[in-house]
Copies of this chain bind each other. A is one copy, B any other.
Amino acid sequence: MPEYKPFTILIHPKVAEAERVVKEAVSKHRALIVVGRCWVHYLGRAKSKLEPGERILMIKEDGSLLVHRSVGYEPVNWQPPGCVFHTRSKDDFLEVHAVRQKPAESVIVYFDKLFLVSSMDLVDAGEFSLYASEKDMHKAILLKPSLIEEGFKPISYEKKVEPGFVDVYGMDKAGRLVVVEVKRKTATKEAAVQLAKYIDAIKGKADRKVRGILVAPSINKGAHKTLETLGLEFKYLDPKHCANALRQVETKKLADFLQ
Contacts and interface: CB of A to CB of B under 8 A. Distances in A.
A45 B116 contact: no
Interface string A9-53: 101111100000000000000010101000100001111111111
A71 B80 contact: no
Interface string A180-194: 000000000000000
A107 to B, nearest CB: 11
Given A113-B3, A115-B120, A250 B45 contact: yes
B73 A56 contact: no
A68 B62 contact: no
A127 interface: yes
Contacts of A1: 14-15, 92-93, 112-114
Given A46-B136, A73-B80, A247-B45, A2 B7 contact: no
A31 B70 contact: yes
A224 interface: no
Nearest to A30: B70
A121 B12 CA distance: 15
A64 B254 CA distance: 12
Nearest to A116: B118
Contact of A247 (B44, B71, B150, B247): B44
A139 interface: yes
Contacts of A116: 7, 9, 118
A206 interface: no
A101 to B, nearest CB: 13
B243 A46 contact: yes
Interface of A: 1-5, 7, 9, 11-15, 31, 33, 35, 39, 44-56, 58, 60-62, 64-66, 68-73, 75-76, 78-81, 92-93, 103, 112-116, 118, 120-132, 136, 139, 150, 240-244, 246-247, 250-251, 254, 259
Closest 6 CB pairs of A and B: A53-B124, A46-B243, A51-B126, A53-B126, A70-B122, A64-B73
